[in-house]
Structure 1
């Protein structure tokens, strides 16, 4: 196994690619009893148009199929998968994002047995016409439920406003109409394309021995055969730089209106630059809108915002954006206050003290987050699926300057790349 030492975080990372293409990453954490494992494929809701290199024609599949597939993977002809994990004292779950699908468990005992359950059920799909039809009803109800959820509606409508063509604008679960098009055959088609070991990553962290873990995984995989992997060609539409709509307004049964401002950014294909942009943008937004900012203190005291106000930033190879907002009695006033704060920082600059406080806060957050096995595994997975090793973040953050933060804000903000989503009371 290849060993990488990250002294700044006191981590040792062991990695190995098995003969069938599966990548394994082990991060031992001495003193931890718990083990957390995440088995993931580089396949998310955005992957709805694709072909393999051996094919000439692009396949277009129904929106929401990656999420639908995640649900169906837990179904087996005999014993329930959750029961199998429970037998070995493990808690299991799964999730789908725009770019990945992940299956996980955490346990304190029977690690080998739980790894076998995880690998076996994910690598042994079972779809029938009957269970697919049954799932359509379950997921349709889930979609309708989220449509009535104010926070989710505000977020999803903002995504549709920011993006005109990129499939990130489509709900991860798809629509009630799109999932009706899913069949057993389309599920198997997508499964065999994206769930090949060559397109997957297994991350195991906690109280483990890396070599022993590799031996267990290798023993499991040696019992299985997989066809040759054909690299996947994903087709994404060209997205305009500007936002699709500058404002969207919806009415729901809410006590307080909601306002969410979106800043459409540029995706980054280079892994090193992606990491730098992610952390540096976080420092900028925390300095302007974090809990210790002048903005937060001023407008929480005035009552314009409450504890729901927050910011977030996401950057990938396919899309990037920031979101700022929360509950407010006056969405238009909050929208104006956010924009004015950004424009003031652009004209006056970012105070050195504010920058340094936010930079140190980020460093502290990185240190403490990696005390959590789940955070450690999820960061390794989300970046690892994009071929990025995120754990030199301490060195990256230590090199940032206030001037770089100001330049990042100039790159991030443009009036033509700002959208606002408002949910008001009926």
Structure 2
């Protein structure tokens, strides 16, 4: 067992990689009555083409299998895992992203029993044809619900601009047509390939004793047998790093009262491996904060001139295999909004050069936000990205931000923001609205 100490925050993280490959992190939090645990596999909606375990050829499964599998794992032959958690007073949930699937619980009572339930239901799959067919109807309704959600369509509209011929442009849940093709064999192929402990990590935090928790996890895992870990062979996703595949502009008319506009910037370069990837991410987070936070000159001007309102948002998303920036808002003048945001991005290096006072204030603000988020068990555990950033945690971020220089931000800005990587997406009211 390895103990990683964070004396600045009076925190200790207990880490161990078990014999079966499962990476375990336990963070005790004194003064807390709640326990939160999350079990994650490095497998998401993008992983629809791979070599199944014990097979030799690449196979393609229907879009939406990862999300479908997440739903079905809770249902067993004679019980539902949600009922077990509820019996012991725990809340449980799960979510699927483009590259990960996570299962979680939160409880103020019987944390050890909840942890055992989490490990057992995820590691004991049971699928049958009848329940799979029933689930298709349930998930089909979920897909239709999101198709009626303008914000969801807005989000994927920009992704389809930046990644038009890429699985990123497909809803994580798949489509009505794609989920209709999912079979029990698809679910088992994906499960046995991607749910091996070697491809998973567990993070437990809150009112826990680290030694007792690790002993419980080891005992639980020792009772189960797993096939030898094999290297997972995923298809390499086509990602045009020249930016030539990007759709520069698209517009969609819907039944909405106000226009929505977004400017996206696709990351064309490869992200550094390991913790350098986290440094890269935090630098772009800082860049966006300097340019668009609600205390920035750009935000105040655009807000006062009525170009943006409180719906204004900016984000940087980085996961395995892709990264991009999106700046968006509801606006009465979508053309001007896009023109103004692009102008800020194109002049970013010039606008920020020499702005040391602004930069130092931003560092303090972002560090303060990180420290404040350390009070949330969910945030601590959910921000753990496993292999993506080589095991870095929320506690590693403060030191990275503290060591940043404005010159590093300017270099990152110059490398990331390129005219060929920029795209605009708008949703406009239908004529007559």
Which bin holds the TM-score, normalised by the shorter protein?
A: over 0.9
RMSD (Å) for aligned C-alpha atoms: 1.5
Q: Does 1:168 align with 2:141?
A: no
Matched ranges for 1:16-415 at <5 A: 16-51=16-51, 55-241=55-241, 242=243, 243-265=245-267, 266-350=269-353, 351-380=355-384, 382-384=385-387, 387-390=390-393, 391-415=395-419
> Shift of the alpha carbon at 1:219?
1.6
Range that drifts further, 366-375 or 291-300: 291-300
Q: Give deviations 1:317-375, integer Å, cap 9, x for gaps.
A: 40110110111111111000101112233334342222222221111111111110000
Distance 1:12 1:223, change over 3 A: same
Assess if the C-alpha contact under 8 Å between 1:148 and 1:252 holds in 2: no
Aligned residue pairs, count: 425
Show the counterpart of 1:11.
11
Aligned to 2:421: 417
CA drift at 1:269 = 4.2
Unpaired segments of 5 or more residues in structure 1? none
**Aligned pair in 2 of structure 1 residues 101, 33: CA closer, same or farther (>3 Å)?**
same
TM-superposition CA deviations, 1:10-37 (whole Å, max 9, x none): 3211111222221111011111111000
Instruction: Say if 1:33 and 1:206, in contact at 8 Å, map to a contact too.
Output: yes
Q: CA deviation at 1:53?
A: 8.0
SS of the residue 2:347 aligns to: helix
What's the offset of the Cα at 1:52? Answer: 5.6
Q: CA 1:321–1:385 in structure 2 vs 1: closer, same or farther (change >3 Å)?
A: closer
Worse-matched range after superposition: 220-229 or 51-60: 51-60
Report if aligned partners of 1:269, 1:316 keep a CA contact under 8 Å in 2. no
CA distance in 1, matches of 2:351, 2:157: 33
Q: How many Å separate the matches in 1 of 2:270 and 2:91? A: 35
What is the SS of the residue equivalent to 1:39? strand
CA distance in 1, matches of 2:51, 2:80: 33
Other structure's SS at 2:176 match: coil
Tell me the TM-score normalized by structure 1.
0.96
Once the two structures are superposed, what CA deviation does each residue of 1:169-192 show, in whole Å capped at 9, x if it has no partner?
221111111111100111011011
Question: For 2:72 and 2:64, how far apart are their aligned partners in 1?
Answer: 13
Pairwise CA distance, 1:384: 4.5
Secondary structure of 2:51's counterpart equals: strand
TM-score, structure 2 normalization: 0.95
Aligned counterparts of 1:384 and 1:50: Cα–Cα separation in 2: 19
* Runs of at least 4 residues off by over 6 Å: none
CA distance in 1 between partners of 2:343 and 2:63 (Å): 38
**What runs of 5+ residues in structure 2 fail to find an aligned partner?**
none
In 2: Cα distance, 1:277 partner to 1:419 partner: 22
Q: 1:367-403 deviations in whole A, cap 9, x for unaligned?
A: 11111000000112x2445533133222211111111
